[in-house]
Amino acid sequence: MTASNLAAAPSASMPALDLAAPAVLQVRGLEKSFKKRQVLKGLDWSVPSGRVVGLLGRNGAGKTTLLRCLLGLSPIDGGSIELFGDPMLEPGGDRMHRVGFVPQTFDLFPWMKVRAYLDFTAAFYARWDATLVDRLLNEWELDAKQKIGELSQGQRQKLAIVRAIAPDPDLLVLDEPVASLDPQARRAFMGELLALMRAPGKTVIFSTHITADLERADADIALLRDGRIQFTRPLAELRESLRRVVFTRAEGWSHAPVVAGALKSHVQGEQAVLLIENPLLDSLHAFADRENASLRVETPTLEDLFVELA
Ligand SMILES: Nc1ncnc2c1ncn2[C@@H]1O[C@H](COP(=O)(O)OP(=O)(O)OP(=O)(O)O)[C@@H](O)[C@H]1O
């Protein structure tokens, strides 16, 4: 059997994102190591303006490291980063008025009260939406008079989000922004985020393990694996094109069938399981008949995709 007789449309034909849109972020050959551990291995990434991008990757894949490097918060060992078309060499500068960042943990200024902290932060920004701040404090039940050190982890995360959104950033970067939020707050947050950021020219990049949030956001999915971004594609497009294909036969499989367009395959007892891009169903059925196997073709959930690909 040859690869081509089972399926067509190899990965190289994957339609790309709209690259005509100006890139907010252009990363080339990014390298980053901690001592001998190389975390980012010549990573290339282009994020067009106006997208909501979910950064997926396993624990330790390097998501936090990447986000920190992008914003100049962590020095890089090689490659280049352009933010809004200019080289990113260090944090700060005028450009930072256009960027909001929500770190994974927020433990600054524990002695400050919420209101004082927000007023203090507002002074650094050219734009600051005080009306939005008051509305979010109210809706997210944050007490302006409470000290930050007395807030729960989830409340701190909400505060960090308010602080990041208030300057009306053009690029919002969030590192697992909803990990500490309860489902209600998560839903409200995602709604708020999308309402604010689904405006022309606004871009959001957020890392998460919660695939339901990516679905709610109808985000583009960027997969970080082996120190590189493997792809960045709209979720709807992934759903449309990827299928989980299961061949089953009693005598099992010595190895998984070789199929063009297969992104991943493994053998599990009687089953050979493949994740295939744009499978040709007639060819798959013919192969199953020849091999005396049954065939099942499923549309994977995003969680399935994450488990298979990450
Ligand atoms: N300051 C540091 N010093 C040494 N090693 C580090 C440092 N920061 C991160 N690492 C290592 O770099 C790798 C990537 O870590 P990173 O936190 O970026 O992963 P992640 O994808 O964000 O993980 P998670 O999903 O668990 O948050 C890990 O192996 C981690 O141990």
User: pLDDT by residue (tens digit) across 173-185?
Assistant: 999 887 778 888 8
pLDDT, position 16: 46
Ligand 1 atom at shortest distance from the alpha carbon of 57: 21
Question: Which ranges in the chain are annotated with CATH 3.40.50.300?
Answer: 19-226
Pocket test of ligand 1: the residue of 32, 33, 34 to mutate, having most ligand atoms within 8 Å of its CB, is: 34
Residue 177 Cα to ligand 1 midpoint, Å, equals 17
pLDDT, position 12: 35
Ligand 1 atom at shortest distance from the alpha carbon of 61: 21
Residue 65 Cα to ligand 1 midpoint, Å, equals 6
Q: How far apart (Å, rounded) are the C-alpha atoms in residues 188 and 136?
A: 10
* 205 token code pair: 């990049």
- State the pLDDT confidence band at 2, using cuts at 50, 70 and 90: very low
Q: For the sheet containing 242-248, what is the strand order?
A: 262-268, 271-277, 242-248, 294-298
Q: What integer is the mean pLDDT of 197-207?
A: 87
Pocket test of ligand 1: the residue of 64, 211, 306 to mutate, having most ligand atoms within 8 Å of its CB, is: 64
Asked whether residue 7 carries a pLDDT value surpassing 60, the answer given is no
Of 213 and 20, the structure prediction assigns the larger pLDDT to 213
Residue 102 Cα to ligand 1 midpoint, Å, equals 17
* Cα 172–Cα 24–Cα 224 angle in degrees, nearest 5: 75
Pocket test of ligand 1: the residue of 65, 71, 210, 230 to mutate, having most ligand atoms within 8 Å of its CB, is: 65
Q: Does domain 19-226 have CATH number 3.40.50.300?
A: yes
Q: How far apart (Å, rounded) are the C-alpha atoms in residues 55 and 49?
A: 16
Report whether 28 contacts 278 (CB < 8 A): no
Q: What is the DSSP letter of 257?
A: P
What is the dihedral sign for C-alpha 155, 54, 126, 97?
Answer: positive
Question: Which ranges in the chain are annotated with CATH 3.30.70?
Answer: 241-309
pTM for the full predicted model: 0.85
Of all protein residues, whose CA lies closest to atom 18 belonging to ligand 1? 62
Residue 62 Cα to ligand 1 midpoint, Å, equals 6
- State the pLDDT confidence band at 193, using cuts at 50, 70 and 90: confident
Round the average pLDDT of the chain to a whole number and report it. Answer: 86
Per-residue pLDDT tens digits for 211-247: 877 887 778 999 999 999 999 999 889 888 999 999 9
Of 218 and 38, the structure prediction assigns the larger pLDDT to 38
Q: Does domain 241-309 have CATH number 3.30.70?
A: yes
- State the pLDDT confidence band at 192, using cuts at 50, 70 and 90: confident
Of 238 and 18, the structure prediction assigns the larger pLDDT to 238
Tell me which residues have their CB closer than 6 angstroms to ligand 1.
Answer: 34, 37, 39, 57, 59-65
Residue 186 Cα to ligand 1 midpoint, Å, equals 24
pLDDT, position 19: 52
Q: In this predicted structure, which of 100-109, 127-136, 137-146, 249-258 has the lowest mean pLDDT?
A: 100-109
Q: What integer is the mean pLDDT of 55-66?
A: 94
